[in-house]
Structure 1
Amino acid sequence: MSAQGEGRGRPGGVVDLHASLLPLAFLVGTWRGEGVGGYEGLEGFHYGQEITFAADGRPALGYVSHTWWADEPRDGREPGGPLATETGFWRVQPGEDGATVIEVTLAHPFGIAEIYVGSVAGTRIDLDHNVVIRTATARDVTRSVRLYGLVEGGDLAYAIDMEAGGKPMQSHLSARLRRVSD
């Protein structure tokens, strides 16, 4: 399978999607949209987001996410101002009994790195096992889980639940993104 993506590949930006990544082929490309966020003790907010999943022929998808403030000015934030960035890699591994296992590694510029392990079934991805590594100055995030999937109209939707600051696991972020490029 070929996909548009950044990195090494054939002329014109076309690269071969590694065979192990076929269960994630539906993610390849750039997605853009809006989401909502909140957490206990934090006023709800709206954000814009762009996510890119890029193939370069190796057995991992590159992943980059950028978010920006999409609400009225508040607490020193202005519309369009940067919020969060994540970068990492998504891999597929064979699991027990023929299951498809997803391994995701993410790094955040505020001192947190995460490893997720989960499953893919069709166009639904459940990342339900998580390890968080924090620097001494990072936020007190202890665990999170993520759900991604294609929804009506072919959009990519996701939800992230988080356990942080001594508070129980609860909804933190969710968004619906439309594909803007392959």
Structure 2
Amino acid sequence: MAFTLPDDLAPEIYPLAWLVGTWRGYGILTYGQDVPEQAVYQEMTFDHDGGPYLRQTTTIWTVDATRSRDLDFETPGLQGACLLAPAQIWSTETTYWRAVGQEQPAAAQGEGARPAPAQGATLPADGPRPAAPGKPTEPAAPTGSTGTSVTPGPADSEDAPEGTRTGPLIPVTALELVSADPAGHVAVWEGWIRGPRAQVGTQAVGRTRTSAPVTEMTRMFGLVGGDLMWTQDMAAFGVQELRTYASGRLGRVEDPEDPATRPGSALPPLPATAPGASAPDAQAGAPTTPAAR
């Protein structure tokens, strides 16, 4: 599907244009004994108001294992979303992305042209853009309380359109991000975006007195076969080293109001007398961050 540059997008964030839109899909959460492995439904929206930044809104739901289907990471994001019945909100977050400069790769201008990487964010190798991060395609299959499984698939294939290793060098755009969640965490991130791949790491994480301890996070985003793949590592709950926390595969939604793109739309409907509903906007309960679980 051809991508059209969004209207009124500020030139400074053209390198981020491929992110703009609504994405829905599925993924995995896991973090030792604090977060049992489990399949989740995910939704991300990247929008703008004409200013030199993007706003990202991310919401993650647990799923009803009695209604949801088992998936593997070869399932396209939107198709997977339609086979999951969300149960309750697990976390929400709002993040602002800013592009703060652009440099040519070192192979074109010498090693001194490379911007300094953010903490936990490694710059891409010289040469053509690499394949989108493979980590989102290789999570462990969840075996948590939901009972719904997501089976890992193979690593990105060499013939993936976005993973081609031929063509001109693509500039590296430096990024600064600020994020906040309703469970009492704010974070400042730095990193880079290059073609359909981005990687960021926290420079500082602040929290309220009663929020769960989170000290560091890293995230990677990549476009693979038209789907948005992402992964997050973090150090939390007294753990000093970064550990895998979340991953996901999401498909772009052309019409967010189309019933066919809603989560659970491919599942048998609930009986008319059954309490509750599967749509995320029908779920009750206050959102929390995973660290608050």
TM-score when normalising by structure 2: 0.54
Using the alignment, how far apart are the partners of 1:68 and 1:145 within structure 2?
Answer: 21
Instruction: Look up the equivalent residue of 1:115 and give its one-letter code.
Output: V
Looking at both structures, which has the greater relative contact order when contacts are Cα pairs under 8 Å and sequence separation is at least 6? 2
Letter in 2 for 1:62: R
Deviation beyond 6 Å, 4+ runs, structure 1: none
Match of 2:120 in 1: none
Partner of 1:43: 36
Residue of structure 1 aligned with 2:91, choices 72, 84, 92: 84
**Contact persistence 2:187–2:202 (CA under 8 A):** no
Q: Secondary structure at the match of 1:25?
A: helix
Match of 2:233 among 145, 161, 178: 161
Counterpart of 1:104 in structure 2 is: 177
1:53 aligns with 2:46: yes
Contact 1:130–1:145 under 8 Å retained in 2: no
Q: Is the 8 A contact 2:220 2:232 kept in 1?
A: yes
Tell whether 2:11 aligns with 1:19. yes
Which SS does the other structure have where 1:122 is aligned? coil
Question: 2:228, 2:250 within 8 Å by CA — same for their partners in 1?
Answer: yes
| 1:150 aligns to 2:223 (yes or no) | yes
2:113 corresponds to 1:120: no
Structure 2 counterpart of 1:65: 58
Whole-Å separation in 1 of the counterparts to 2:172 and 2:233: 24
Kindly indicate whether the alpha-carbon contact (under 8 Å) linking 1:46 and 1:71 is maintained by their aligned counterparts in 2.
no
Alignment-derived partner of residue 100 in structure 2? 93
Q: Which amino acid aligns with 1:112?
A: H
Whose strand fraction is larger, Structure 1's or Structure 2's? 1
Indicate how the Cα distance of structure 1 residues 130 and 45 shifts in structure 2: closer, same or farther if over 3 A, else same. farther
Does the 8 Å CA contact 2:96/2:177 hold for their aligned counterparts? yes
1:172 is paired with a residue whose SS is strand
How far residue 181 of structure 1 moved from its aligned partner, in angstroms, is 2.7
What residue is the counterpart of 1:10 in the other structure? none
- For 2:184 and 2:12, the matched residues in 1 are separated by 31
Aligned partner letter, 1:155: D
**Residue matched to 2:212:** 139
Distance in 2 between residues matched to 1:26 and 1:99, nearest whole Å: 15
CA distance in 2, matches of 1:68, 1:37: 10
Contact 1:92 1:103 (C-alpha < 8 Å) held by counterparts: yes
Q: 1:71 to 1:141 in 2, by over 3 A?
A: farther
Shift of 1:129: 4.0
Which of the pair has more CA radius of gyration?
2
Offset of residue 28 of structure 1: 0.3
Gaps of 5+ in 2: 67-84, 104-112, 114-170, 256-293
Are the counterparts in 2 of residues 112 and 134 from structure 1 also a CA contact under 8 Å? Answer: yes
What 5-or-longer segments of structure 1 have no aligned partner? 4-14
State the Cα distance separating 1:130 from its structure 2 match: 3.2
The answer (yes or no) to whether the contact 1:33–1:48 under 8 Å persists in 2 is yes
Q: Provide the C-alpha distance between the structure 2 equivalents of 1:54 and 1:181, rounded to a whole number of angstroms.
A: 14
Deviations 1:118-148 (A, max 9, x none): 0111111010343110000111100000000
Residue 54 of structure 1, CA deviation: 0.4
- RMSD after superposition: 1.9
1:136 to 1:33, Cα distance in 2 relative to 1, 3 A? same
Amino acid in structure 2 at the alignment position of 1:23: P
CA distance in structure 2 between the partners assigned to 1:99 and 1:79 by the alignment: 37
* Percent identity between the two aligned chains: 38
CA distance in 1, matches of 2:37, 2:64: 10
